[in-house]
Structures are given as C-alpha cells and as structure tokens.
Amino acid sequence: MEAVHDHSHDHHVPTGIMRYVTTTNHKDIGSMYLWFSFAMFLVGGVMALVIRAELFQPGLQVVEPEFFNQMTTLHGLIMVFGAIMPAFVGFANWQIPMMIGAPDMAFPRMNNWSFWLLPPAGILLMGSLLAPGGAGGVGWTMYAPLTIQQGMGMDMMIFAIHILGMSSIMGSINIITTILNMRAPGMTMMKMPLFVWTWLITAYLLVASMPVLAGAVTMTLTDRHFGTHFFNAAGGGDPVLYQHIFWFFGHPEVYIIAIPAFGVISEVIPTFSRKPLFGYPSMVYATASIAILSFLVWAHHMYTVGMPVEAQLYYMFATMLIAIPTGVKVFNWVATMWKGSMSFETPMLFAQGFLFLFTIGGFTGLVLAVTPIDIQLHDTYYVVAHFHYVMVAGALFAAFAGVYYWLPKWIGKMYDERLGKIHFWLSLIFFNITFFVQHFLGLAGMPRRIPDYALQFADWNMVSSIGAFGFGLSQVFFLYILLKAIRSGEKAPEQPWDGATTLEWTHLPTPAPYHSFETPPDLRN
Amino acid sequence: MKSSFGLRALGIIMAFLPTMATAEWNLNFTPSVTLLGEEIHAIHNLVMWIIVGISIVVFGAMFWSILKHRKSVGHKASNFHENTTIEIIWTVIPVVILIAMAFPATRLLLATRDSSASDMTIKATGYQWRWGYEYLDEGLKFYSTLATPRDQIDGGAEKEETYLLEVDNKVVVPVGKKVRILTTSNDVIHAWSVPGLAVKQDAIPGFIRDIAFKAETIGTYRGQCYELCGKEHGFMPIVVEVVSEEDYQTWMQAKLAESGAPSFDPDKEYAVAELVAAGEQVYNANCIACHQEGGLGMPPTFPAIKGGKIATGSMEGHLDIILNGSDKNPMMAAWGPILSDYDIAAVIAYQRNEINSSGDIIQPSEISAARAD
C-alpha cells in the first residue's frame, strides 16, 4: 500500500520549473521568497553603490542628478518591499508550520499566488527605469506634489506597490490563519516560539497598514491622471495630507521589518546561550505594545511640516514611550545570555552584531525622538544613518542569523563555518565604516538625497563610500558561501545546534522532509 | 611594475588632495549663532551623555557575559528565565529617564516654535530650483539662485571654498533682531534651513508656515533645501548674511533703488548680438539645468530647444511658454515673475539665434507690452 501511495504521489508532482510555478508546498514557496529577496537585495545593493560612487567625491562624476534621484527612490523601494519584507515572509513560510507542528500553511494555493505576485512587481519597479523619463525620482516616500511631475515610471511604481501590497496582505492572512488554527495540540499561544509570535503581530500590522499605503498611492494616481486634487492646495487639497497617510503606513512598516527580526534573534540567542529566553511573556507583551504604539507616532517623521506645537509635543511623548518596550527587549536578550553557556557560531555572531548595532540604532532613535533635536537632523544623513542601523544592522543581520541558523535544517548540509565568520566580520566592519560616519555628516547638516555636496562633507563621504563597496562585496561573498553549502556542504548532523528547543529541531529529521507533520505532534504533556 | 603601481597610487592620492586640503572631519553640530541653537546643542549633549550611561550598563553586561559566560571557558548554563523584580526595575528606570528628558525638551520645543514679537518678516518662496525672497515691510523682492559655476560642478574647474553654497543674491538681516521667515512654495515641497541659525521649515505650496531666529553674531551663514524637490534639489542653497543695523539699512536702500530701476532702456532698439550675449548668461543661470548645454534637453521630460517646435516656431508661442509655463509639462515653470523683461528678451534671442537660427528677436519693450495684455 505504502509503495503504491508514494508512486501515485510522485506522479502528480511536476518537475523542473513547473514544480515551482505550481507548488503549494510551504518549503518550496519559502525558498522562492528567500531567493527572490536575495536577488532583489543584490539589485538594490547595486543601486546603493551607484549612489555611493556618485557621492565618493564632490562634483557630478558618475550619474546625472535625475538618475541619482531615481536610484535613491528605487534603492529604498526595492530594499524595503523587494528584499527585507519577502525575506522574512520566506522565513515565515519555512518556519511557522514546522515550529507549530502544522503540515503546511492554511491556504497553500493563496500562498503560491502571494509569491508569484512578487516577480511582476519587481519587474515593474526595475522596468520603470526604462520608461520614457525614467523611474520616479521622488524618494521611496513619494511625497506629493513632486509625484505629479513624474513620467510614466511613476505609474509603474504605483502599480508595483499595489501588487506588493496585495501579496503582503494575502501572505499575512495566511500567516494569521495558520498560527491561530493549525497549532499542534498542546501548543498554546503562550508556548509558541517567539518567532511565531512576532510574525502573528507583524501580520496584523501588515493587514492594517498596507491598505493605507495603497490608498495613498491610489490618490497619487488619480491626482496624476484623473483630475482629483487630494494633494493639490489649489484644488482644495493638502500636500501634507499625503505625508500623514504615508507615515500612518510608514511607521508601522518600520516595525513590520523589525519585529520578525526580533523573532529570529529571540530564537538564535537562547539556542547558542543554551538557556531559555528570559522573560518570554514580557517579550510577547513588549512586541505587542511596540506594534500598537507604532500606529500612534507617525507624525514624528514630519516635524518640519509646520504642525501645531501641541501635536509636536504629543508625538514627542508617544515616540519616547516606544523606548520602554524596546528597552525591555534588549534587556531580555542580554539577560538570556547572562550566565548562559555561549558559543559563537555564525548565527550567534550575527545575533550579537544585531544586538549591539540595533541598540545603537535605538539610541539614535532616542536622540531623534527629542523634537527640537529632530528638527535640526530632519532630512539629513543622521536619519539615513539611523534607519540603516535599524534596517541593515537590525533586519538584515537578523536575516543572516536566520539563514545560517536554519540552513542545515532546510538543505541538510552545513555552511563553511570559517567563511561564515569571515562574512560576519566583513559585514560588521564595513557596515560601520559606511554608516557610522553618516551620523557625523548629518550632524554637520548634509541633506539627504543630494547628488553633490559642499566641500565640508567631502571627507566622511569618501569614507562612507569605501565602506559601502566593501559591504557590497561582502554580500557577494555571502552568495558564494550559500552556493558552496548547497553544492558541496558537509552533511549536517541530525542536531547541529545542541541548544535548540523548537519543534523543527526536536521533532523533525535533518533535512526536514518535503512534507512534515502530516499528523500533528502531541505536545499536551 | 612596482614603480608604476607606486606612481598610480601617488596619482590617486594627489587627486584627492584638493578635498583633503579642506578636510574638516566634523563630528558634531555646526556651531550655532542663536541662543536657541546653543540650547538645542546642549540638550543634544545631555541626551548623548544619557546614552553613554545606558551604553556602559547594557554593553557592559553584554560584553561581560560574552567574555565570561561562554562554553569555551567552561561556563555551565543556568536555567533562570524570569525575575519579576528586575523586570519591573528595568521598566521603571527608563520611564524615569524619559520623563527627565521630556521636561527640558518640552520647554525648548515651545521656545523654538515661538515666532511671535518678531522685528521683521521675510517671505521665502521655494521654486524649482531657487529661492524667492520678499521683505514684507519694505516690499523688496528678489530671487536667489545658485552662483557656483557649472564647470566647478562638472569637474572642469577647481572648486571654491563655498562650492554649492554660494548664491547671486543673499538674504541680509540685521544682527540681534528677531527675524520671522514665512515659507511657502510655488511648485513642490521644499525646506528652508540654515544649520548655523538652527532653523528648518518646510515650504509647502498653497500654505504658509513660519519660523523665527535671532542671530547674535555678524557673519555669513549657509544652508540648503532639505526636502527632495526634483532634479536640482542639491543645487538651491540659502545664504544669510547677518550684518550691523547700519549696514542693513545701507544694503536695503541700495537694493530698493536697484529693484526700482527698469531693466532696459525703453527707447533703445537692442541689437541681436547684444541680446544674444546677455541671453547666454540668463540661459546658463536658469535654463541649462534641464535644457542642457546647447539646448539639447533630456527628452521626454526636458524637451530639446535645439530644433524644438517652440523655439523655432512662432514668437508668440515661444514668449507664452517662457512667461506662463507649460500646460502640458508641469516641469516647465512660468518664468514671467522671475525674469526681467530684458532677461526674457535676451534669452529668447539666445535660443532663436545661437541655439537655433530662426534669426528673429523680440525687444524688451514688447515683453512689457505682452505682460500688460
């Protein structure tokens, strides 16, 4: 019977490219998400290097100002929507079913569709460069009314965002349904791994905030083509309204990126400290409060629009509040390490890099929370430095930690530990060369999004550009490490990390079988 | 091989010397010449010290544990995973620190936003890509455009010390007076900011916002546009010259006399060569950023003037688009309010006779007549 069953099963699984086009398997879809995001990461990275090459020296050497603006715009959009968000959805697809003892995601066909929406969106984003007039040179924030002046590339970017938004919302509905309905018996909410909790919270953030962004860009579209005046003061609208709507999405978006990263770190640190996560309930509550607060602080991105001083005061106090749950998380991670028995394999190194640099990003966030200081630093490189500490050293380092951590489970082979460590140290050093000095540029007053700058900014810009190229090359090295592991990595032991306690390590073989937990594990005792 | 590598390295270093000579390696805010600016720097220093304190505790614990609680030194893992007392402590302490920060921050924010009881008011209007200023009490109006020559930007000439921070018409204000700046915009959002004066305010089309400063020291303070406003966002600086009260009055009288004078002699018939020569200056200052050297443009957003339908077509159409802007392409601004009659006549002459060869010109007096219609 068993053999017959297997035979008929194989018969229905297409091979080659069709396997991936038609797949409904969470592991295939997770892998596609991860590869897609890595490809986008490299594309966005090349754009960053175009920016840094132009800024290497004062004067216009490499690109025209218009193209420079298109690069800053697409770099932002591609990194946020194409690289970081899909990367963590990839982790969610691979890990959530395995960590809660479910056979797959709740809606496998919708899962396939949410992934396959991404490539057309990516093509629209990149293809906008080829449109007459090029892509929109408006910054990833796409402030009106500058968006009205753009060519057709702007419309392509708007449609790309619509599609990405649909993908995110479908992915989130899938994740919420899976987590709420498909946990193994005995896996109560407060026993879920923290990674699962963070994704549950993130998915709610996505469902609540992506439609707001879709609304903002749709209004931009109708202002552009259909004679509406949402953001045109001459027609009774208000350009600042756009900023309010955008940041009502934009601030939760920051946490959409950061919270799954917290989840990965909350798995990696306990594993390599060989000690349970400190303060699990407070981690859950802290994450939830960060998520709720994230909807209440949006206008701290726009202190210079001239809002009433009372509003500025409210946003300053609300923003400061975020420091409390964020602090709790950092303290909990340090307390998890405290009196542990730590070892420093590559995932743990990246987790430590995350902890150190994300905390620095949190500190500069505290500086920016103080409104009179923020107004001085608004739209300067200080802000650029701040959010790259959170996005790159935060989210990206967490993603690296996650890849190195779960790779043995995914492919059944080990990466080269020595090369992984080199990748970490190169990333850490070049990241800081690139971005730490940007704090100085911002304090000295260098505006963001300028292709050329006054001579007083020359020194740190040159340092930053050197760091950026080093960082970029380090990520090509990461691709080599991955390919080497996949092609010729050593066979992974059943349990490569002796401190791991979650279901994918304790209840599944390595590598994880194509179909896992067809009958749920019973965790009731 | 070795020597050629050495030479090449030396060459690379030499190439950077001009920038090294102006090395600043700034680590902190630009020194401020307003009292509020100094207070902002002081509160920034306070926050930085708080951060240093928290860092010592958090990173101290982190690195202590990295060094001591590692498997390789034989440390055995404890199994604790909660402690209500310590969790309450590390929630309450940040609350106390934040409250301590909030008091001075609130006081300072209220002070910086107070633009009442100002001694004078200047309206700053953002244009793509220049600033227009209007001294509301005296009725003085002028435009302030980047004065750094193009060849310095393109690398053909050595960059001056005030590279990209030099304008043709500076804002001049008296020392020790509270100056209120009203900001607005003619097209997209810009931001008016001078770090040395510790002010930054968005300039939003259709709305007027305000900000105030009181400079305590005579000197020249330079700023830029801080909100992405399109292609030349990096090329619309702000220069504020703070002078003594007497110097300010002298400057104001001279400026008023200059702005009252007509830009041309209405009785004179201007020759083609004269207008073309003047038009080249106007073109290089105002048109070249989009329409490029020789009028080649960057189609489709910035159409070519060379061989273009408008610049080779009827004089009425040509004058109309320069005076009133384009209905079809929002990137083409209305230059009527910005350029003088003489400048418009000159730039039309340059476009029709130097870039193209239509051979016709329009006299400045005819522009005045066209405006009157």
Q: State the burial class of residue A36 (Cβ atoms within 10 Å of its Cβ: 0-12, 13-18, 19+).
A: buried
Predicted confidence band at A307 (pLDDT cuts at 50, 70, 90)?
very high
Q: Which of A49, A95, A94, A89 is nearest to A72 (CA)?
A: A49
Looking at residue B19, its pLDDT comes to: 47
User: Which backbone phi and psi does A370 adopt, to 5 degrees?
Assistant: -75, 110
Residues shown for chain A: 525
Dist CA B226 CA B194 (whole Å): 10
CB contact under 8 A, B26 and A444: yes
Active site residue A329: yes
Dist CA B270 CA A22 (whole Å): 75
CB contact under 8 A, A327 and B228: no
Residues shown for chain B: 373
Q: What is the pLDDT of residues B165-199, one digit of tens each?
A: 999 999 999 999 999 999 999 999 999 999 999 99
Nearest residue in A to B154, CA atom: A60
Q: Residues of chain B with pLDDT > 90: what percent? A: 51
Q: Which of A15, A33, A192, A239 is nearest to A98 (CA)?
A: A192
- Which residues of chain A neighbour B46 with C-beta distances below 8 Å? none
Is residue B194 within 8 A of residue B238, CB to CB? The reply is yes
Looking at residue A51, its pLDDT comes to: 96
CA distance B261 to chain A (A): 33
Looking at residue B18, its pLDDT comes to: 46
Is residue A382 within 8 A of residue B200, CB to CB? The reply is no
- On average, the pLDDT of chain A sits at 94
Residues within 8 A of A (CB atoms), B 130-169 only: 152-155, 159, 161-165
Dist CA A96 CA B334 (whole Å): 58
Q: Which two tokens stand for residue A419?
A: 């090369």
Predicted confidence band at B13 (pLDDT cuts at 50, 70, 90)?
low
CA distance A509 to chain B (A): 26
Predicted confidence band at B361 (pLDDT cuts at 50, 70, 90)?
confident
Looking at residue B20, its pLDDT comes to: 47
Q: Is 60 exceeded by the pLDDT of residue A408?
A: yes
Q: Which two tokens stand for residue B318?
A: 């040509």
Q: Which of A128, A364, A373, A466 to mutate to test the interface with B (most CBs of B within 10 A)?
A: A373
Comparing A7 with A344, which gets the higher pLDDT? A344
What residue type is assigned to position B164 of the chain?
A: L
Dist CA B275 CA B164 (whole Å): 28
What residue type is assigned to position A190 of the chain?
A: M
The gap between the terminal CA atoms of chain A, to the nearest Å, is 33
Predicted confidence band at B10 (pLDDT cuts at 50, 70, 90)?
low
Q: What is the pLDDT of residues A246-300, one digit of tens each?
A: 999 999 999 999 999 999 999 999 999 999 999 999 999 999 999 999 999 999 9
The gap between the terminal CA atoms of chain B, to the nearest Å, is 74
Dist CA B225 CA B126 (whole Å): 9
Pairing outcome for strands B130-135 and B140-144: antiparallel
Dist CA B49 CA A335 (whole Å): 24
**Orientation of helix A381-390 relative to helix A239-273, angle to 10°:** 40
Q: State the burial class of residue A109 (Cβ atoms within 10 Å of its Cβ: 0-12, 13-18, 19+).
A: exposed
Count how many Cα atoms sit within 13 Å of the Cα of residue A39 in the half-sphere of its side chain. Answer: 11
Active site residue A251: yes
* ipTM of this complex prediction, to 2 decimal places: 0.90
Q: Is 90 exceeded by the pLDDT of residue B282?
A: no
Residue A274's CB: how many other CB atoms inside 10 A? 22
Nearest residue in B to A242, CA atom: B189
Peptide bond between residue A120 and the one before it cis (omega within 30 degrees of 0): no
Dist CA B107 CA A229 (whole Å): 38
Q: Is 90 exceeded by the pLDDT of residue A8?
A: no
Q: What is the pLDDT of residues A168-196, one digit of tens each?
A: 999 999 999 999 999 999 999 999 999 99
Q: What is the pLDDT of residues B224-269, one digit of tens each?
A: 999 999 999 999 999 999 999 999 999 999 998 887 777 777 778 8
Q: A35-44, A258-267, A453-462, B295-304: lowest mean pLDDT where?
A: B295-304
Residue B192's DSSP bridge partners are B201, B225
Dist CA A436 CA A444 (whole Å): 14
From residue B335, give the alpha-carbon distance in Å to each of A150, A349, B136: 20, 59, 22
Dist CA A88 CA A80 (whole Å): 11
